[in-house]
Amino acid sequence: MSAPWKLAVTADYAEADGSTIYGDIGLGTLAEHDIEWSLVGDGERELRGDELEGFDAVVLLSGTPFGRAQLEGVTTLKHVARFGAGFDSVDLAACDTRGITVTNAPTGLRVPMAHTALTFLFALAHSLLPKDRLVREAAWERKAEHRGPGLASATIGVVGLGGIGQETVRQLRALDLAVIAWNRSPRPEFCVETGIEQLAFEEVIARSDCLIVTVAANAGTRHLIGARELAAMKDSAFLINIARGAVVDEPALVTALNEGTIAGAGLDVFEVEPLPADSPLIALENVVLSPHSLCWTADFAEATGAEVLGEVIAMAQGTAPSHVVNAPEDRPGHE
């Protein structure tokens, strides 16, 4: 009989009873598959290699850095599983050279993320936050000051047509909203399917009444939206970022919001997280903010938990996982 597959789960977002910051992601079901899990780290610092030795796999529940320092002295690790779609914090090359498979869980969060974009969109278009404040301050007489532009005649631009971008487009089109999009590579079949135009980046920037950013974070997308792009947007336009904070040049965005270069923004992600208490974004009244968690719902936890643990189970059973994001060198599988 083979030894149980040993799984490490980062303690930053989990408790010893299997509960996590996201809710129940199904850790209690792993015993049925001959997988033993336990917490590693203390949630206050980066992982160390000596904490991972002896484990076959690790689930990264957050964007904690994972690279050469975490792999120092580790000989047993075969699988790094990221909870969620983003894997920009994982050093893929370091895992490649050690034959470690890296997976993500990109599909379960697509609808919740698209709904995140819609939440920001409606909040901005209908001036939800200032109207909420008027009620709390008993200032109903000022409600005419915050009518909001609405969406009936708006053009929504989507930057990035990956899984989340495509689902966002589908949700927008289901609402009969006009959508244009940019993606690094052509998506002609998807555009025909959804009835949208894929245009040059500069044209999407200039024509959009609301620009939704969904691209993956990498060296090529760092500060993709900077001072030049913000200046090219309509002064009545909104920016929504549900990608990664580094995709938007935050100081340039603050300047644009303060100077009225754009009308407002909805941000679920930031260049530094948690957002520092002295960030100028906090004082701005034309910004809707969320702590990188607006998609965290029961649906999200159940779907993403099932997906990430499905990858762990596949690796433990010696079958191919569905969402490999690196190119690990050949190594023996689980015996």
The residues annotated with a catalytic role in the active site are 244, 273, 292
Give how far the C-alpha of residue 94 lies from the chain's centroid of Cα atoms, to the nearest Å: 23
Closest CA to 100 of 118, 87, 115, 85: 87
**Quick one: angle between helices 110-125 and 163-174, nearest 10?**
50
Counting Cα atoms < 13 Å in the Cβ hemisphere of 205 gives 13
| Phi, psi dihedrals of residue 80, rounded to the nearest 5° | -115, 120
Q: Nearest to residue 169, comparing CAs of 151, 139, 148, 196?
A: 196
Answer for the pair 182, 200: CB distance below 8 angstroms, yes or no. yes
Residue 297 backbone class (left: φ over 0; alpha: ψ -120 to 50; beta: rest): beta
Per-residue HEC secondary structure of 294-324 comes to CCCCHHHHHHHHHHHHHHHHHHHCCCCCCCE
- The set of residues, in sequence order, having a beta carbon less than 8 Å from that of 73 and lying 6+ positions away, is 49, 50, 53
Are 47 and 66 spatial neighbours (Cβ–Cβ below 8 Å)?
Answer: yes
